[in-house]
Amino acid sequence: MAKKATSKRKSPVRKKVTPKKVNSNPDEVRLNKWISSTGLMSRRKADEAIDEGKIKINGRVVYELGVKINPKLDVVKYQDKALRPPKDKTYIMFNKPKKVLTTMADPTGRTTIGDFFPANEHLRLFPIGRLDWETEGLLLLTNDGEFSQEVIHPKSKIPKTYLVKLDGKLNQYQTRKLLSGVTIIGGRVKALHIERVKKLTSKVENKEYEWVRISISEGKNRQIRKMFAKVGLDVKKLRRVAIGSLKLGTLATGKYKELQAKDLLQVFEHVQFKPMKELKKSDSSKKASTTVNKNARTKVPRRSTKK
């Protein structure tokens, strides 16, 4: 007996459903970014405070670094004190003396940059970057977290220029090494520009010491000292004299002044280094004088500064 033919049922075609993307609340912002905007501390310090359990959101301690808040609805406290963004942004240029900590306060009582500001002025200021204990010169302070982040971010590649007194003479071989790059703790770094400063080297010092001007775009811990140590030279004195095109000028040691919008733009301006003689390709004499490639320049894009 012939089998009755049966028709096969076609399985229904299932349409692939793509879940709709949920737009994040435009009012929400990362916690560390918002804390920085209050002028209390930088983003890095804010992350440390969160990790140490010093931050509360709506009465609860938060440890998550990437958490977001809605400033219009959430109450954020640091050590049980409510935080609020400052009404006015402040930007300060300070000439830091030696043997002063780059922090606004020190629990052990050591001298800090905060000691140079009236108590009612430094509460919401924090330094942009840092200079070590023995280094003097130009330091920026602000209560604007976004401006601080833009200045110190590696992508900005803002040149920082220093005057350096060396315990010895910088020769051509050492100069080439610094310009091509050396490896220190934290990674590989290099100088953007190096030149002798003859006016600062007296006849008495000329036999043993030498002053040079060096520009770098990184900002690693004790970077200048470590770079010269890699080529066999000791740094006797170190002074930062410029950030971008913003120069320290004649501002006295231990003094500060408030910066205006035009000054802030100079931080991001293109730096035009002085042209110098080319380095010789051959290096048979390592006692040759210091010269650099005249085309060794850095390009820093202009940026608009929000105030």
Q: What is the DSSP string of 108-132?
A: T---BGGGGS-HHHHTT-EEES---
Say what the pLDDT of residue 122 is: 57
Kindly state the average pLDDT of the residues 109-127: 84
Check if the beta carbon of residue 134 is closer than 8 Å to that of residue 98: yes
Asked if residue 286 has pLDDT above 80, the reply is no
Fold observed for domain 29-82: 3.10.290
Dist. CA 150–CA 243, nearest whole Å = 13
Check if the beta carbon of residue 232 is closer than 8 Å to that of residue 269: no
Q: Which position has the higher pLDDT, 222 or 286?
A: 222
Catalytic entry in 88, 132, 167, 283: 132
As annotated, the residues of the chain forming the CATH 3.10.290.10 domain(s) are: 29-82
Query: What is the pTM (predicted TM-score) of this model?
Result: 0.71
29: pLDDT confidence band, cut at 50, 70 and 90?
A: very high
* Amino acid, res. 198: K
Helix axes 172-180, 223-230, angle to 10 degrees: 130
**CATH class held by domain 91-267:** alpha beta
Dist. CA 233–CA 13, nearest whole Å = 76
Say what the pLDDT of residue 25 is: 76
- The C-alpha angle 273, 279, 283, rounded to 5 degrees, equals 150
Helix (H, G, I), strand (E, B) or coil at 296: coil
302: pLDDT confidence band, cut at 50, 70 and 90?
A: very low
- CA 186, distance to chain mean position in Å, is 15
| pLDDT, averaged across the chain | 83
Asked if residue 200 has pLDDT above 70, the reply is yes
Q: How far is CA 225 from CA 150, 168, 203, 236, in A?
A: 25, 14, 25, 9
User: What percent of the chain is modeled with pLDDT above 90?
Assistant: 58
Say what the pLDDT of residue 36 is: 85
Dist. CA 128–CA 277, nearest whole Å = 35
Say what the pLDDT of residue 284 is: 40
- Interval 139-168: pLDDT, tens: 999 988 889 989 998 888 999 999 999 999
Catalytic-residue membership of 88: no
For the chain, what is the largest distance between any 2 Cα atoms, rounded to a whole number of angstroms?
A: 123
Dist. CA 63–CA 58, nearest whole Å = 14
Say what the pLDDT of residue 154 is: 85
Say what the pLDDT of residue 298 is: 38
As annotated, the residues of the chain forming the CATH 3.30.2350.10 domain(s) are: 91-267
Check if the beta carbon of residue 119 is closer than 8 Å to that of residue 104: no
